[in-house]
Amino acid sequence: MDFSKGALNALNYAIDVALMTESEVIMLWVDSSIEGKFPGEKNEIRNDAKIELKTIIDTRTSEHEALQISYKLKKGKVYQEIASLAKNVDADLVIVGTHGIGGFEEFWVGSNTFKIISYSPCPVISVRTDFVLGGSIKKIILPIDDSFETTKKVPMAAKIAQAFKADILILRIYESELPSIRKKTDVYVKDTIRFLKTKSINVEEAPCSSNNIPKSIVKYAEKAEADLIVIMTDQDKATSDIIMGMNSQQIINRSSIPILSVKPDKMEF
């Protein structure tokens, strides 16, 4: 929580999710600044942040009696402090505000959003500043490709779908024309459908073949008026979990719909 428009919008989303799932919201303010030029400047900033956080809590709890919301103040690097707190409180989700970018910026690795997603010990929902529909989730887009890790995001998608009584729309991703490669995708889709039906989740599926998979996924999600897209953080085989996969970054940057990013080593299918 840095009190920016994006952070406040993410908070609105987090509150909606928390009320639907009877969860607690913890706002985290991180002092990532270097030493101030004036004596007492850092304490003044910290005190101002504390006052603002308390005001937010008073306002939101008066609006929602059932809301459990608190705050923490930390100092350090934003993504490291978020990851540390998430681990310490055994968080189920991190929800963070972001903004879309284009052009060559789209391929720049290193923004706080990408680092938060890469370092987080739990799944992360990134919410664009211009997304204003709240945290009501009725349709979830679930891309499935031919990678071994592709189904490891399915259990988390299922949990969200069950919590919100949402439908899941599986995108059958074909990145190759080879029948043997396409067959792998078909097998993973079939396994996913079987798993989701054991959870009593309504499932639909559609093929997606394109030279620009991230763009096609986002376009399909927007056309379907979906509320959430579930992806893996390294879906294009990133060599390090500190660096997100390029496809993941492009989907997050392009999508006006919130993205749930899941690490492959955090969920088992």
d(CA 161, CA 175): 27
Beta bridge partners of 213: none
pLDDT score of 19: 92
Distance, CA of 56 to CA of 49 (rounded, Å): 11
Encode pLDDT of 111-126 as tens digits.
Answer: 778 889 888 999 999 9
pLDDT on residue 254:
86
Q: Hey, is 264 helix, strand or coil? A: coil
Q: What's the pTM?
A: 0.87
With contact defined as beta carbons under 8 Å apart, do 127 and 13 qualify?
Answer: yes
Extract the residue ranges of the chain whose pLDDT is less than 50.
Answer: 102-110, 235-243, 269
Task: Please count the residues of the chain.
Answer: 269
Encoded amino acid at 141, one letter? I
DSSP state of 22: T
Helix (H) or strand (E) holding 12: helix 5-21
Produce one character per residue of 110-120: b if its CB has 16 or more CB atoms within 10 Å, e if not: ebbbbbbbbbb
Is residue 127 classed exposed, middle or buried when 0-12, 13-18 and 19+ CB atoms within 10 A define those classes?
buried
Class of domain 139-262: alpha beta
CA distances to 19, 28, 97, 128 from 1, rounded to whole Å, are: 19, 6, 9, 14
Closest to 201 measured CA to CA, from 230, 233, 232, 234: 230
pLDDT at 37: 56
| Domain-wise residue ranges, the chain | 139-262
**Distance of alpha carbon 12 from alpha carbon 28, whole angstroms:** 15
**pLDDT tens-digit map of 58-104:** 999 999 999 999 999 999 999 999 999 999 999 999 999 986 554 43
Q: What is the pLDDT of residue 205?
A: 93
Tell me how far CA of residue 105 lies from CA of 11, 102, 110, 190, 218, in angstroms.
Answer: 26, 6, 11, 37, 18
Q: Could you give the CA distance from residue 12 to residue 35 in angstroms, rounded to a whole number?
A: 32
